[in-house]
């Protein structure tokens, strides 16, 4: 199947304050963000022409930049407005938004205090891949050989580009072995997350999720926890040992791209997506659509 390259498309990208033709949104090869990972980004979803929880994403982008030691040259309100402008200019009804901020090319070396901070926002069509019914089949995971780093060894509360290097390695290895994705442990050997989504499991009717102390506390994660509580489902944030997975009644992942995705297998151990998964899939789908309708 041929895939349209991301650098050769029609449309516009918001780049440092202005909409520019898609193919002209380029950076120099000696950009600091490319060499030293001084780059942060967001992943956002458009439903019925409206970005779900846009301001929360823009706030997190600004916070991630702050953690990496730089300040965005635009306010959260300006980022929100630029995002809406880009989505409208591209005519996106159901799609994905990628805001990104990085240090430029004025200085090349570990130190880069004088580098200009650039911001860009791109978006493209990305409808939901599966119906709620089709998603219930569940995806296959394998354990990653890579672990999420400790919070005193990496800026783990930022959505920083460099933190995703081991995610790419993990997902590539998983796909080459015939799995859909990889499950990552943290530096202590506890269950952390998948390569781009947070982890949940149902045990004794309660919803358990790892404490987000060394990985990103996802916006979708928090949303799904709220939805579960509205249903009267007890949510427990705690340390989860990998040996506990075999006793899970249901397992699923959450994220902007994943939404709510049930897991059907982890390295040969089978799981049957059930009532909790199905309920939260439907509740999440209803929420994002109703939020989009309210914003229209």
Q: Give 79-121 pLDDT, tens digit per residue.
A: 999 999 999 999 999 999 999 999 999 999 999 999 999 999 9
Q: Which of 159, 171, 246, 282 is catalytic?
A: 159
Find, among 13, 21, 35, the residue nearest to 87 by Cα.
Answer: 13
- Determine the CATH number of domain 132-295: 3.20.10.10
> What was the pLDDT predicted at 1?
44
φ, ψ for residue 185, nearest 5 deg: -90, 165
> What was the pLDDT predicted at 291?
79
Q: In Å, how far are 27, 101, 170, 195 from 186, measured between CA atoms?
A: 34, 27, 13, 12
> What was the pLDDT predicted at 280?
97
Q: Is 282 a catalytic residue?
A: no
Packing angle between helix 54-67 and helix 219-230, nearest 10 degrees?
130
pLDDT tens track for 24-48: 999 999 999 999 999 999 999 999 9
φ, ψ for residue 248, nearest 5 deg: -70, 140
> What was the pLDDT predicted at 295?
75
Radius of gyration of the chain (CA): 19
> What was the pLDDT predicted at 123?
98
Contact present, 143 and 183 (Cβ < 8 Å): yes
Residue with tokens 């309920």: 279
> What was the pLDDT predicted at 134?
64
CATH of 12-125, one of 3.30.470.10, 3.90.480.10, 3.40.50.150, 3.30.230.10: 3.30.470.10
Tally Cβ neighbours within 10 Å of residue 290: 12
> What was the pLDDT predicted at 2?
54
Positions in the chain short of pLDDT 70 = 1-2, 128-134, 296
Q: Is 262 helix (H, G, I), strand (E, B) or coil?
A: strand
> What was the pLDDT predicted at 292?
73
List the chain domain ranges: 12-125, 132-295
């Amino acid at each position: 199947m041929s895939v349209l390259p991301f650098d050769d498309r029609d449309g516009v990208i918001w780049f440092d304050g202005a909409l520019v033709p898609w193919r002209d949104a380029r950076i120099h090869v000696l950009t600091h963000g490319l060499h030293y990972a001084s780059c942060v980004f967001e992943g956002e979803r458009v439903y019925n022409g409206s970005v779900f929880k846009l301001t929360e994403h823009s706030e997190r982008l600004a916070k991630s930049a702050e953690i990496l030691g730089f300040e965005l040259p635009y306010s959260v309100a300006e980022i929100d407005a630029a995002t809406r402008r880009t989505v409208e200019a591209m005519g996106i009804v159901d799609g994905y938004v990628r805001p990104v901020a990085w240090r430029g090319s004025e200085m090349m070396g570990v130190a880069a205090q004088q580098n200009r901070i650039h911001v860009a926002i791109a978006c493209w069509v990305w409808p939901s891949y599966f119906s709620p019914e089709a998603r219930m089949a569940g995806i296959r995971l394998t354990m990653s050989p890579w672990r999420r780093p400790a919070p005193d060894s990496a800026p783990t509360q930022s959505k920083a580009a460099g933190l995703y290097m081991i995610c790419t390695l993990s997902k590539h290895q998983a796909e080459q072995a015939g799995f859909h994705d990889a499950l990552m442990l943290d530096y202590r050997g506890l269950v952390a997350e998948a390569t781009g989504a947070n982890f949940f499991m149902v045990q004794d009717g309660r919803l358990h999720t790892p404490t987000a102390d060394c990985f990103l506390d996802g916006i979708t994660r928090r949303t799904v926890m709220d939805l579960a509580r509205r249903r009267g489902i007890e949510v427990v944030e705690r340390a989860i040992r990998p040996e506990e997975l075999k006793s899970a009644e249901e397992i699923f992942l959450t994220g902007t791209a994943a939404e709510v995705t049930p897991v059907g297998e982890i390295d040969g151990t089978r799981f049957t997506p059930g009532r909790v998964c199905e309920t939260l899939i439907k509740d999440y789908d209803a929420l994002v659509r109703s939020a989009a309708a309210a914003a229209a």
